[in-house]
Amino acid sequence: MTELRVATYNSFLNRFGEGELIQDLSTPNDGQARAVAEIIQRANPDVILLNEFDFDENGEAIQLFQENYLSISQNGVDPVEYPYVYLAPSNTGIPSGLDLDNDGSTTGPGDAFGFGFFPGQFGMVLLSKYPIVEEEVRTFQNFRWQDMPGALLPDNPDTPEPQDYYSPEELDVFRLSSKSHWDVPVEVDGEIIHVLASHPTPPVFDGPEDRNGTRNHDEIRFWADYITPDQGDYIYDDARTLGGLASGEKFVIVGDQNTDPFDGDGIPGAIQQLLDNPLVNTSVTPSSTGGPDAALRQGGANETQLGDPAFDTADFTDTAPGNLRADYVLPSANLAITEAQVFWPASEEPLFDLVGSGFPVVSSDHRLVYVDVAVNTLPNGVASGDTTQDSTVLWTRSLIPGEVTFEYTTDAEFSAIAGTATATVSDPTIPVKVEVTGLENGTEYFYRVTDAGGTEAEGRFATSAEFGAQTGLSFGVSGDWRGELAPYPAIINVAEKNLDFFVEHGDTIYADIGSPAVLNPDGTRKEQAETLPEYRAKHDEVYRDRFGLNTWAELRASTSVLATIDDHEVTNDFAGGELASSDDRFPETEGLINDTELFENGLQAFQEYNPLRDEFYGATGDERTAGERQLYRYNTYGSDAAVMVIDTRSFRDQAIPGPENFADPAQVIAVLTETLTADKTLLGEVQLEDLKQDLLAADANGITWKFVMVPEPIQNIFPGVNTDAFEGYGKERTEILKFITENNIDNVVFVSADVHTTFVNNLTYQEVPFGEQIPTNVFDISTGAVAFDAPTGEFLANLVTAGNPELSAFYNSLPIAPDTDDIVNDKDDFVEQAVNSTLLEPLGFDPLGLDNNLPQAEGLIDAELIQGDYFVGHTYGWTQFDIDPETQQLTVTTYGIEAYTEAELLADPEAITSREPVIVSQFIVNPQVDSSAVITGTEEDETLVGTATDETILALGGNDTVAGGLGMDSIDGGEGNDLLRGDLNERSSADGGGDDTISGGAGNDRIGGKAGNDVLYGDTGNDRIWGDQGDDLLWGGLGNDRLYGDSGNLSGGVDTFVLAIGEGTDTILDFESGVDLIGLADGLTFADLTLTSQNGNLKIASGPDTLAIVQGVEGLTETDFALV
């Protein structure tokens, strides 16, 4: 997001004689000019209008002011450069040849078109750091006052005629603008901001006719009409082009308007023509500490004024009118204000001498006013997340209150919109999101977000493939990024990868490490966020533009995300399942930490700033989880992968304390023993059970890879030392790995973060302290950090080399150049060898890598290192996972950039942000697949029969006959009218058949589960489905299907017949009330149903849709239904 600082400053750089200003500025020694320049340097605006700056045709004065003052440091302040300048003639001092002030003379300063002793006196100039589109500048110097409809032309009170102070001859030439009105387009990062500059006459120095008051009013009205559609049609510019500003354009009105909303001599309501215009953003009024201080010190008229002196901008005579708000920076409503100030230090502040106490004038009798506006009112971009086969969450944050529209389509050109959703921004610090349902699986979507200010941003996401499809999968993962290290070039290449999703893997902010987002009252960085606004500021910090780059916005617009927390979203190493009274950082004395205000603030901000569904646990019967936020997610991606996202903080027990001296073997052994025997949970009972059941389901459904996203590593890296990760919860770690092993769940990958380094290792476990290391075919890879200083590799090396200058010198001499060998010729090899030799091998743990194993683990994982190493510890980066659609081979690629510090970033932002990620580690893993257990058909008609083992049978096309053996089979009929049987190719049920999953696919299929507890899907077409023996689930899918639970069998079971809206009318036969169930899917509830008895049968409907006819049943109750 680009923030633009726009300022106005009546600089008082006018002189009584033509050319005098040029003379004064020709040396760098003019005291007033130096003070004015220092104020500008300290405010450092991007665009500034200087009023009362004498005009000269060649621009010599402004050139001298830049060269001799702005470009030279004033009192140690950084110089400021303005490469773009706009100046034009002013009406001041231009003779009219008429007696406009009615003093009997035609040659005085009051007879000029604008008061002035010479042409251009009290002129104005615009300076900009951004390009001025000069060919599109409009000036209105010659616009006649009488051409304004309803103009407040002054009236001579001594005559009966109205508005006759000026004669017709005078009105024929009288110009509205006392100086000029300019529309100066400035291009800011491809956007045009119209700077509307003027300096209306003071509403004083006249008589009862109030000629200056009425002129001031209408000079202000000019801009009100110009920015309002259909109100400015009468306006013509100096090129005789008609009309005002086009609707929806962004603008900032700047200038000394010479009138106050409440006080002074202006016509009441004059400035309100702008302040009350709905197209003008007045949400923040620039203020100062010096205004109230001056009003109190000076007294006089200030004591009776109505306006707030904090908003004053002019230090006028104390007797009359007193100090006023005269200078304005007014952005359009579609530009958000992020900061606004008046440069007016109080008398006790160090910079007070720049403005002084009034007279004589030190710099100016006016104060510089600036407003920061967000050119892009979607500062954190747009995002999608929690994407499934048929739904997603769309997200953004707008700085403009009002309605935000989300449109989505499958057409990248948005020529046809598939759907629209809206949300309302009431607080610009709180993002908005909408959930979109009813999407097509395996489909790429594009979305467009438009906020109330008209700002648009686009993104894309892809729904996951339907169950049974092997289409391949690509996704990314990383964690751990600190706010002061933004904008994160380590992930700059993610957006171009066209990934299916990206996992934001915890420590997405560091609420407990100081950064520029949250400050103490004295301006220092606050070390711990506490309030909800502070947590929001931390999230905003990492997802916004910095140094012209916003890599997270690019990533989240291009790729749907999943996200979870680690500890730093709240505070370091907290344990959500512990009593609040156990941790002094949480002031509550009752309840658990996951019910404290600090925890709730952190979690609410996390939930708000990520495109996630708001999910909560119900009545779990467990105090830790009941009613709490549920960050756990389980998603499937065809048959390629299942992904489980874990929350390891909200429900955990307090970790066992680590050793006081990790170099003491006795202390380490004691800690290791306690971690394996203590009843400590990292996940909480409910989440642990969810994980187990989802691993079983993924394996039973024939899904190849099972990725468990766990924020802290489950591999052993620092056993007996780091008790905050799974190493400190050894008993639960063993339970999980033993469960995977005993249930023969293959191809499980734990993906972790937190340790700010890539560690890869196969997993073993122990059942008793220092017992046998039991091998598994599971491995863990830690990824990241996106940006955490210092990298863990450097940290560990400093520990290893402490007190050994020679070893330290050797380490420092090594390059950062990860390679595939074990020779200590780079920094990663050095640290990897140290970890193995000092932390793992002496205690009998498996060394790092998938190619360096304990004997009992050898060969259990079929992996090959292609590039880099299994340990990468000196870079910032992320990891990509790719599953081949044909072979299901997994390729794991880690990208990295050279790590950097905040000091290096601030010293040379471009050098850091231009770093490009390169591959620092890449390896492949072949899945554990029994090739004999996969039977694949052809596109022809054929018969496929399984064996007694568990098998996957893919029929593909044709009208096929498919039968599983007696194992637990997964059968996909594919296209065609198929006959699908769970157990043996016989009409009768077989004893001992497995629990099968059968999908009919397209066509009118006949499906029989036969023995076992089967799951039977008709999919599309008009299908017939028989559950046969066992407790079966029958789901007809699209089409008019016939569902038989137990018909024709010697023994039945508890069958579930699944209904959903929009899938046709199913006929259910042999339903037995009190035994069988009707399952309600896709959000359908019993309250949505209408049950009607018809001719001995029961009709089940929802609205106009008949969902099913249950034959032979006349009445059912709610107990016969269940949500599935």
The continuous run of DSSP H or E covering 166 comes out as none
Which class is 3-374 in CATH? alpha beta
The pLDDT score that the predictor gives to residue 1019 is: 87
Q: Which fold has domain 464-926?
A: Purple Acid Phosphatase; chain A, domain 2 (3.60.21)
The pLDDT score that the predictor gives to residue 950 is: 79
Name which of 99, 125, 152 is nearest 14 in CA terms.
125
The pLDDT score that the predictor gives to residue 1050 is: 40
Please provide residue 895's backbone torsions phi and psi, each rounded to the nearest 5 degrees: -105, 145
pLDDT band at 652 (very low <50, low <70, confident <90, very high): very high
CB 13 within 8 Å of CB 114:
no
In order, the DSSP letters of 19-87 are THHHHHHTSTT-HHHHHHHHHHHHH--SEEEEEEE---TT-HHHHHHIIIIITS-STTPPP----EEEE
CB 1053 within 8 Å of CB 1036:
no
Does 930 have pLDDT greater than 70? Answer: no
At residue 321's C-alpha, the angle toward residues 320 and 327, to 5°, is: 150
The pLDDT score that the predictor gives to residue 131 is: 98
Amino acid present at 275? L
| Domain(s) of CATH 3.60.21.70: residues in the chain | 464-926
Residue that has been written with the tokens 């890449």 in this structure: 922
Does 7 have pLDDT greater than 70? Answer: yes
CB 899 within 8 Å of CB 876:
yes
Mean pLDDT of 1077-1095: 92
DSSP SS3 for 600: helix
Name which of 869, 858, 866, 906 is nearest 889 in CA terms.
866
C-alpha distances in Å from residue 829, one per residue of 632, 793, 835, 836, 897? 36, 10, 10, 11, 18
The continuous run of DSSP H or E covering 685 comes out as helix 685-700
Mean pLDDT of 104-127: 97
Mean pLDDT of 548-566: 98
- Residue 646 CA to residue 690 CA, distance in Å, equals 10
Does 1049 have pLDDT greater than 50? Answer: no
Tell me the per-residue pLDDT of 753-769, one tens digit each, with 9 for 90 and over: 999 999 999 999 999 99
Higher pLDDT, 569 or 1008: 569
pLDDT band at 933 (very low <50, low <70, confident <90, very high): low
CB 845 within 8 Å of CB 801:
no
Q: Which strand ranges, in their side-by-side order, compose the sheet holding 1042-1044?
A: 943-945, 961-963, 979-981, 1006-1008, 1024-1026, 1042-1044, 1066-1069, 1105-1110, 1097-1102, 1090-1094
CB 994 within 8 Å of CB 983:
yes
- Residue 470 CA to residue 179 CA, distance in Å, equals 72
The pLDDT score that the predictor gives to residue 1 is: 54
- Residue 385 CA to residue 610 CA, distance in Å, equals 8
* CA of residue 996 relative to chain centroid, distance: 43
pLDDT band at 1021 (very low <50, low <70, confident <90, very high): confident
The pLDDT score that the predictor gives to residue 1043 is: 84
C-alpha distances in Å from residue 700, one per residue of 321, 693, 705, 778, 969? 84, 10, 12, 18, 9
Please provide residue 4's backbone torsions phi and psi, each rounded to the nearest 5 degrees: -115, 125
The pLDDT score that the predictor gives to residue 482 is: 98
Q: What is the mean pLDDT of the chain?
A: 94
Q: Please tell me the number of Cα atoms within 13 Å of 398 on its side-chain side.
A: 27
- Residue 784 CA to residue 712 CA, distance in Å, equals 12
Strand locations in 225-293 (E):
250-256
pLDDT band at 290 (very low <50, low <70, confident <90, very high): very high
The pLDDT score that the predictor gives to residue 936 is: 82
Does 508 have pLDDT greater than 80? Answer: yes
| Domain(s) of CATH 3.60.10.10: residues in the chain | 3-374
Strand locations in 410-518 (E):
419-425, 432-436, 444-450, 456-462, 473-478, 501-505
- Residue 113 CA to residue 85 CA, distance in Å, equals 25
Residue 2 contacts by C-beta under 8 Å, 6 or more apart in sequence? 188, 189, 374, 375, 376, 545, 548
The pLDDT score that the predictor gives to residue 199 is: 99
Tell me the per-residue pLDDT of 959-991, one tens digit each, with 9 for 90 and over: 999 988 777 888 988 888 999 888 776 655 445
- Residue 1037 CA to residue 1021 CA, distance in Å, equals 8
- Residue 182 CA to residue 212 CA, distance in Å, equals 20
Report cis status (omega within 30 of 0) of the bond before 131: no
Amino acid present at 875? T
Does 795 have pLDDT greater than 50? Answer: yes
DSSP SS3 for 459: strand
- Residue 13 CA to residue 921 CA, distance in Å, equals 63
The pLDDT score that the predictor gives to residue 1014 is: 85
pLDDT band at 743 (very low <50, low <70, confident <90, very high): very high
Tell me the per-residue pLDDT of 421-449, one tens digit each, with 9 for 90 and over: 999 999 999 999 999 999 999 999 999 99
Tell me the per-residue pLDDT of 773-784, one tens digit each, with 9 for 90 and over: 999 999 999 999
Mean pLDDT of 667-680: 94
Name which of 702, 703, 710, 696 is nearest 740 in CA terms.
696
What does the DSSP 8-state code read for residue 839?
A: I
Does 1039 have pLDDT greater than 50? Answer: yes
- Residue 122 CA to residue 91 CA, distance in Å, equals 9
Tell me the per-residue pLDDT of 146-170, one tens digit each, with 9 for 90 and over: 999 999 999 999 999 999 999 999 9
The pLDDT score that the predictor gives to residue 991 is: 52
Mean pLDDT of 1094-1098: 91
Query: Across 562-566, 798-802, 1020-1024, which has the greatest mean pLDDT?
Result: 562-566
Does 518 have pLDDT greater than 50? Answer: yes
C-alpha distances in Å from residue 817, one per residue of 835, 849, 874, 922? 18, 17, 9, 14
Go through the chain and tell me how many residues it has. Answer: 1124
CB 705 within 8 Å of CB 683:
no
Mean pLDDT of 714-725: 94
Tell me the per-residue pLDDT of 858-905, one tens digit each, with 9 for 90 and over: 999 999 999 999 999 999 999 999 999 999 999 999 999 999 999 999
The pLDDT score that the predictor gives to residue 985 is: 63
What is the token pair recorded at 221?
A: 């009205």
Share of the chain above pLDDT 90, in %: 85
In order, the DSSP letters of 323-387 are SB--EEEEEBTTSEEEEEEE----TTSGGGGGT-SSSS-SS-SB--EEEEEESSS-TT-EEEES-
Tell me the per-residue pLDDT of 350-401, one tens digit each, with 9 for 90 and over: 999 999 987 789 999 999 999 999 988 999 999 999 999 999 999 999 999 9
- Residue 467 CA to residue 628 CA, distance in Å, equals 30
CB 288 within 8 Å of CB 307:
no
The continuous run of DSSP H or E covering 489 comes out as none
pLDDT band at 1048 (very low <50, low <70, confident <90, very high): very low
Share of the chain above pLDDT 70, in %: 98
Buried b (16+ CB within 10 A) or exposed e, 763-802: bbbbeeeeeebbbbbbbbbbbbbbbbbebbbbbbbeebbe
Mean pLDDT of 93-113: 95
In order, the DSSP letters of 107-163 are SSGGGBSBS-SSTTTT-EEEEESS-B-GGG-EE-TT-BGGGSTT------TTSSSTT
pLDDT band at 586 (very low <50, low <70, confident <90, very high): very high
Burial (CB count within 10 angstroms: exposed 0-12, middle 13-18, buried 19+), residue 1072: middle
- Residue 1008 CA to residue 992 CA, distance in Å, equals 15
Does 1051 have pLDDT greater than 70? Answer: no
Tell me the per-residue pLDDT of 628-639, one tens digit each, with 9 for 90 and over: 999 999 999 999
pLDDT band at 512 (very low <50, low <70, confident <90, very high): very high
Please provide residue 650's backbone torsions phi and psi, each rounded to the nearest 5 degrees: -70, -25
- Residue 51 CA to residue 260 CA, distance in Å, equals 17
- Residue 156 CA to residue 1040 CA, distance in Å, equals 89
